[in-house]
Amino acid sequence: MSTELSPFFAEYFDVKTRLSKFALKDDPETKKTVSIIEVLLDRALNVNAGASTDGRFGNAPGHTLENYFGRAKRYLESLERGEYPLKGKWTEPGMAVVDHCFVEKDGKIHLFYNRDRIGYEWDLMPANTIGHAVTEDLKNWIVESPVISADNEAFENYQVWSPGIAFRDGVYYMYYTGVNINACQAICLATSRDLCHWEKHSGGPVVKPGSWGSWSEERWSDCRDSMVFIDDDGTAYMYYCTAANIGGKTVPAVGIASSEDMVNWQDRGAYRFDICGVAFESPFVMKKDGKYYLFYTNCGSGTAYAVSEDPVTGWKSLGMLMPWTVPPLCPANVPSCAEVFRFRGQWYISCCLREPGCEQYLEIFELEWVPDGKVVIGKRVE
């Protein structure tokens, strides 16, 4: 029997052997990087053996043996130079962090997030649990058990995405995207008093697009990435990514609903941004100095934001906040999923820049409000 290795396996075993000594180290940055290299190498081995990278809805750029293996080698070479190539980027080992939210409790920040898989599109390796991690300094994270899962007996019999949490009267309300087997999306609800134990709302989805939308349980329908903002008068407003029939065309839009009890929601229509031509994702709304600010993902471009005197309408664009720095391979490969929060007197904004091949990490930046009501991105938390 021949023992001669193919060029792929010769290089593969060389990289694995060089990586092995770093697996003995226990510092967080090395452990994180080693875990990502291992995932990329496993995916490269899988594809080399003939595995398809096509999902249900096609194949996004970057899912190639060359990309997986090339990135793994570059990360290893960085470690060998004494560098940390993923410094300032957080992920649960082996996973990709996508849509997320933050909750402060007892001096700690709780992070809830999509648990996607590096090397796989969501339609090939389902994102069927919502993760939970905790930090005291925004740098060091403790991964807790996942808190929400898909369920064959519920609407979300395929996947669960994009948690958003609001707090009222001692109860945490998590609004998450339930996805059925047809890729139809709707906003579902779970509640908790301690952020660790969650109970799903028994009535099924609490928000679906109004008659203005193009939505059916029988096919892909956009109704995802919800977040809830509670105004000064106690009214809760929900914002979510959707598609609306406007002017005889189906266009990307943000859906808006309001509620007095956090469970029953009144449709408030959809708002359209002309500058957003691909998808309007991950809306995040907050109020500061009497004005409403809307941060959102302008797919294909990056993170943008807008301001209004009203929580429902009248939004005026303030432009791009986190644009891509190189042309994206596809509309998803941009800084996205922004959340704004304040912790220990400092404002922060997050993003998840998706790299080719579904590498996606959480990054947090300092945020400064300037006198004209706009914001400036500061240094990254590392």
Does residue 171 sit in the same domain as residue 27?
A: no
Does residue 319 sit in the same domain as residue 184?
A: yes
Does residue 175 sit in the same domain as residue 277?
A: yes
pLDDT value of position 131: 98
Is residue 303 very low, low, confident or very high in pLDDT (cuts 50, 70, 90)?
very high
Query: Final residue of a domain: which of 80, 104, 132?
Result: 80
Q: Which amino acid is at 45?
A: L
- Tokens standing for residue 281: 């994702």
Averaged pLDDT for residues 293-309: 92
d(CA 335, CA 297): 8
Does residue 24 sit in the same domain as residue 111?
A: no
- Give the domain range for residue 19: 7-80
pLDDT value of position 3: 75
d(CA 43, CA 266): 45
Does residue 28 sit in the same domain as residue 130?
A: no
Does residue 239 sit in the same domain as residue 310?
A: yes
- Write out pLDDT tens, residues 222-257: 999 999 999 999 999 999 999 998 888 888 899 999
**Three-state secondary structure of the chain:** CCCCCCHHHHHHHHHHHHHHHHHHCCCHHHHHHHHHHHHHHHHHHHHHCCCCCCECCECCCCCCHHHHHHHHHHHHHHHHCCCCCCCCCECCCCEEEEEEEEEEECCEEEEEEEEEECCCCCCCCCCCEEEEEEECCCCCEEEEEEEEECCCCCCCCCEEEEEEEEEECCEEEEEEEEECCCCEEEEEEEEECCCCCCEECCCCCCECCCCCECCCCCCCECEEEEEEEECCCCCEEEEEEEEEEECCEEEEEEEEEEECCCCCCEEEEEECCCCCCCCEEEEEEEEECCEEEEEEEECCCEEEEEEECCCCCCCEEEEEEEECCCCCCCCCCCEECCCEEEECCEEEEEEEEEECCCEEEEEEEEEEECCCCCEEEEEECC
Does residue 278 sit in the same domain as residue 357?
A: yes
- Write out pLDDT tens, residues 54-79: 989 988 889 999 999 999 999 999 99
Could you tell me which of 182, 180, 138 has the C-alpha nearest to residue 156? 180
d(CA 88, CA 290): 33
Q: Is 85 a member of any domain?
A: no
Does residue 189 sit in the same domain as residue 230?
A: yes
Please give the biggest Cα pair distance in the chain.
Answer: 78
Q: Is 204 a member of any domain?
A: yes
Does residue 376 sit in the same domain as residue 258?
A: yes
Does residue 178 sit in the same domain as residue 118?
A: yes
**Residues 177 and 162: beta-carbon distance below 8 Å:** yes
Does residue 66 sit in the same domain as residue 112?
A: no
d(CA 294, CA 35): 35
Q: Is 86 a member of any domain?
A: no
Is residue 135 very low, low, confident or very high in pLDDT (cuts 50, 70, 90)?
very high
pLDDT value of position 272: 82
Q: Is 121 a member of any domain?
A: yes
Is residue 175 very low, low, confident or very high in pLDDT (cuts 50, 70, 90)?
very high
Q: Is 73 a member of any domain?
A: yes
Q: What is the pTM (predicted TM-score) of this model?
A: 0.95
- Write out pLDDT tens, residues 315-372: 999 999 999 887 778 888 888 999 999 999 999 999 998 898 999 999 999 999 998 8
Q: Is 263 a member of any domain?
A: yes
d(CA 80, CA 338): 33
Number of domains in the chain: 2
